Structure 1
Amino acid sequence: MAYAIMRAKKLANMGSVAASMQHCYRERETHNADQERTPHNQHLVAKSTDEAMGKLRDLLPEKRRKDAVLAVEYVMTATPEWFAKATPEQEKAFFQQSLQWLADKYGADRIVTASIHRDETTPHLSAFVVPMTQDKRLSAKEFIGSRDKMRADQTTYAACLANLGLERGIEGSKATHQTIQQHYAALERGVKPLATITPKAVEPRVLRKGLFSSDVETPEAVAERLSKAVNEGFAGVIATASTALQERRRAKEMQDTANDLRKRLDSIQGPFKGLTKAQVIEVLRVAMTFQVENKKAKEHGQAIRREQGKAGPDRGR
């Protein structure tokens, strides 16, 4: 199964907004980006951090709270397997429909900039929107201020991409969210053998050499270093298992839904068992006739009561 993935991050000061935009425009070193593929990135709305920051300043209201969220950064993508099989037309539709979802939620004029990144592990859209209400107030709370709103966003976002074969992740999942890059990197590690701990790795390392003595790792430092290595090694296995578990849960949900529909269908079909098609049609015709007559009788009774209500005061004089 292929899933739509969407993350939102609130940015409350100009420095954090500019830093995130510089990452999107590759104006600062990006270690997880393939420089050979960077020219394939696309920048929409604004072509540089300076231009995007200018649009942001023009859009922000002069009067605002000091702690107000200035922008919400969105990362929108799909499971790697979907992009691996997607046609150029499907990929183009994915980014267009994702951007349209943002425009429908905030308003097209609230989108400061958006970038399509193709130089990282999985293609994705990075977009910055100003959470400004129709009456010109900054209020991230009104857009993404509760779990219910964020859950609804995940549902509507997946729905707008359903025509591309993408689904929503399991609702109510208790999984701790990693960054998208961390999750994909862990998945890649999950298909590789775990690193082994050698006898040399257990030996305390020399931290600093002196003329007459040297500082070496304490037993606690050795344990911490090895524990970190083991955790990093198992991260891939855990990520792979988590993905498989989600798929199994999704399959079970679909099976439970099918079983429920089957039971409801059986309860409806039960009274008609043994009847011919003509007899079923006749039963339905009679039932509809009774339904119409009951409705007319009810309306007639209501009309009589209304007339009696109008006549009541006259009789009391």
Structure 2
Amino acid sequence: MPARDDEEGLRLGRRIGGGILHAPGPRSFAILRCAKIKTLGNMGASLQHTFRERDTPNADARRTPDNTVLVGGDTSRAVLDAWKDRAPENIRSNAVHGLEYFVGGSPEALKAMSREEQDAYFTDALDWLNRLLKKSARRNGFPSGWSAAFGFGLVEAMSVGA
């Protein structure tokens, strides 16, 4: 599918497995990936990976303390409990329980940023994603409180250092 400009002015190149938000500058880009969470077991496993509560061999354990929770609980249990508190009483067996969004960027661009600039980048990305999802939710008839990751009005986001 060809790239297009969205109404926020970002260039979105579409491909299977995610899209790339192109920011100005050489070799400077944002990465956006979305994945369906189809079971609570999948959600728990994803959260344990995110919070480094399970073995995560692709992460540098020395940098885990640099991770920052932008919104929501700071453990997988806290996020799951919040999800359960907001979930409807009856959930279809084939329902998507949530959406997981990953936002990253080109290593060159992120390494050139200070920690404060990195945190601002991820905060801006979360704000952009929330605006985009709220517009989509209104267009498609979802409740007005619906927002980013993990559905049912719950937003969980981290600025991940490792």
* Residue of structure 1 in register with 2:83 after alignment: 56
Q: Secondary structure at the match of 1:111?
A: coil
Tell me by how many angstroms 1:87 deviates: 3.0
| Gap change, CA 1:116 and 1:82, over 3 Å in 2 | same
Q: CA RMSD in A?
A: 1.7
Aligned match for 1:67, one of 94, 118, 126: 94
* Residue of structure 1 in register with 2:111 after alignment: 84
Letter in 2 for 1:16: N
* Residue of structure 2 in register with 1:118 after alignment: 161
Aligned match for 2:39, one of 13, 37, 40: 13
* Residue of structure 2 in register with 1:279 after alignment: none
Aligned match for 1:27, one of 37, 53, 63: 53
Question: How far apart, CA to CA, are the structure 2 residues paired with 1:52 and 1:113?
Answer: 8
Question: How far apart, CA to CA, are the structure 1 residues paired with 2:159 and 2:118?
Answer: 11
Q: Is the contact made by 1:6 and 1:74 (CA closer than 8 Å) also made in structure 2?
A: yes
Q: How many residues align?
A: 119
Report 1 or 2 for greater relative contact order, CA contacts < 8 Å, sequence distance ≥ 6: 2
* 2:121 pairs with 1:94: yes
Question: How far apart, CA to CA, are the structure 1 residues paired with 2:113 and 2:154?
Answer: 26
Task: Give the gaps of 5 or more residues in structure 2.
Answer: 1-25, 135-146
Tell me by how many angstroms 1:39 deviates: 0.9
Question: How far apart, CA to CA, are the structure 2 residues paired with 1:40 and 1:94?
Answer: 15
Letter in 2 for 1:19: A
Kindly provide the CA deviation profile for residues 232-257 of structure 1, in whole angstroms up to 9, marking residues without a partner as x: xxxxxxxxxxxxxxxxxxxxxxxxxx
Greater helix content: 1
Where do 4+ consecutive residues of structure 1 move more than 4 Å?
Answer: none
Tell me by how many angstroms 1:53 deviates: 0.1
Question: How far apart, CA to CA, are the structure 2 residues paired with 1:63 and 1:74?
Answer: 25
Greater strand content: 2
Question: How far apart, CA to CA, are the structure 1 residues paired with 2:53 and 2:104?
Answer: 22
Kindly provide the CA deviation profile for residues 246-285 of structure 1, in whole angstroms up to 9, marking residues without a partner as x: xxxxxxxxxxxxxxxxxxxxxxxxxxxxxxxxxxxxxxxx
Kindly provide the CA deviation profile for residues 62-117 of structure 1, in whole angstroms up to 9, marking residues without a partner as x: 23321111110111011111012123342122111111123222437723422221
Q: Is the contact made by 1:56 and 1:112 (CA closer than 8 Å) also made in structure 2?
A: no
Give the TM-score normalised by structure 1.
0.36
Larger Rg: 1
Superposed counterparts of 1:179-218, under 5 Å: none
Tell me by how many angstroms 1:33 deviates: 1.3
Taking only the aligned residue pairs, the percentage that are identical comes to 33
